Chains A and B, each alone.
Chain A
Amino acid sequence: GAGVSQSPSNKVTEKGKDVELRCDPISGHTALYWYRQRLGQGLEFLIYFQGNSAPDKSGLPSDRFSAERTGESVSTLTIQRTQQEDSAVYLCASSWGREGLGNIQYFGAGTRLSVL
């Protein structure tokens, strides 16, 4: 596709339910990132995939959060037993992931998650 695609664009769920958020990166981009953005705040790094290397999960806030990526394509962020504080916009970005290119990141429009 032409850009990073995220689905769904909006998700409303009840506290305690599990949710899955999907990201389709730009074709050929080896690096993929997930961020969380709470209302009026900056981007909070969650997880980073680079090619076939083990993902950098250092930003995941709890063990309720997990993410997978199949090769260099689609990624899914899963939040189990959602809590109200999980309400935020979840942004996905991809990049060429090569040093020397300055790691310009291309973002999707995000998934707005509301936990009732």
Chain B
Amino acid sequence: SQKIEQNSEALNIQEGKTATLTCNYTNYSPAYLQWYRQDPGRGPVFLLLIRENEKEKRKERLKVTFDTTLKQSLFHITASQPADSATYLCALPFSGGYNKLIFGAGTRLAVHP
């Protein structure tokens, strides 16, 4: 069955550094991959989508890569700020279900001043 793995340990970094979060998946080849941000007590908020034929996507301080050979996506936040502290979730469509997503458990990022 499909499986998504994100580092369950929190990532602690200093303000101004680049945060890198990892999402690994197994057992299929998704057409796209998404990243969401979730703050405590709130629903996830969409950040970026990258398709299988794209190697990299950028949006302001965010960058996502998608390596379909390694079955891995990396999510980078450059010049991180304390306001970037949140849980970041990756999501992939279910195999055979383009519109249905399976979410990773998320990685909590804490940016310290």
Whether A108 and B49, one on each chain, are in contact in the complex, defined by CB atoms closer than 8 angstroms, is no
Please pick, from A42, A50, A106, the residue contacting B105 in the complex, using a CB distance under 8 A. Answer: A42
Question: Which size class do A's interface residues fall under?
Answer: 20 to 34
Determine which of B32, B97, B104 lies in contact with A56 in the assembled complex, contact meaning CB atoms within 8 Å. Answer: B97
Given A42-B89, A42-B106, A43-B89, do A103 and B101 touch, yes or no (CB 8 Å)?
yes
Interface string of B20-48 (1 = CB under 8 A from A): 00000000000010100000011111100
Check: B55 CB closer than 8 A to any chain A CB. no
Best-surrounded residue of A43, A99, A110 (most CB of chain B within 10 A): A43
Size range of the chain B interface in the assembly:
20 to 34
A104 located at the interface, meaning its Cβ lies under 8 Å from any Cβ of chain B in the complex: yes
Q: Which B residues are CB-close (under 8 A) to A95?
A: 99
Q: For chain B, what secondary structure do more than half of its interface residues adopt (helix, strand, loop), or is it mixed?
A: strand
Q: Complex Cα distance A91/B44, Å?
A: 9
How many A-B residue pairs lie within 8 Å, measured between CB atoms?
Answer: 56
> Contact flags (1/0) for A16-42 with B, using CB distance below 8 Å?
000000000000000101010000011
Which residues does chain B contribute within 8 Å of A104, judged by CB atoms? 34, 46, 49
Say whether A1 faces chain B, with CB atoms less than 8 Å apart: no
Task: Kindly identify which residue among B41, B99, B102 contacts A109, using a CB–CB cutoff of 8 Å.
Answer: B41
In the complex, the answer to whether A31 meets B101 with C-beta atoms within 8 Å is no
Query: With A42-B104, A42-B106, A50-B99 given, is the CB distance from A102 to B51 under 8 Å?
Result: yes
Give the one of B45, B98, B99, B103 with max A CB within 10 A: B99
A residues in contact (CB < 8 Å) with B? 4, 31, 33, 35, 41-43, 45, 48, 50, 56, 91, 93, 95, 97, 99, 102-110
Q: Which of B34, B49, B51, B101 contacts A45 (CB 8 A)?
A: B101
| Cα–Cα distance between A8 and B106 once the two chains are bound (Å) | 25
A residues near B93, Cβ cutoff 8 Å: 103
A67 to chain B, nearest CB (A): 15
- In the bound complex, residues from chain B placing their C-beta under 8 Å from that of A43 are 44, 89, 103
Any chain A CB within 8 A of the CB of B17? no
A selection of 18 A-B contacts at a CB cut-off of 8 Å is A41-B105, A42-B103, A42-B104, A43-B44, A43-B89, A43-B103, A45-B94, A45-B100, A48-B100, A56-B100, A91-B43, A93-B43, A99-B98, A102-B32, A106-B46, A108-B43, A109-B42, A109-B43
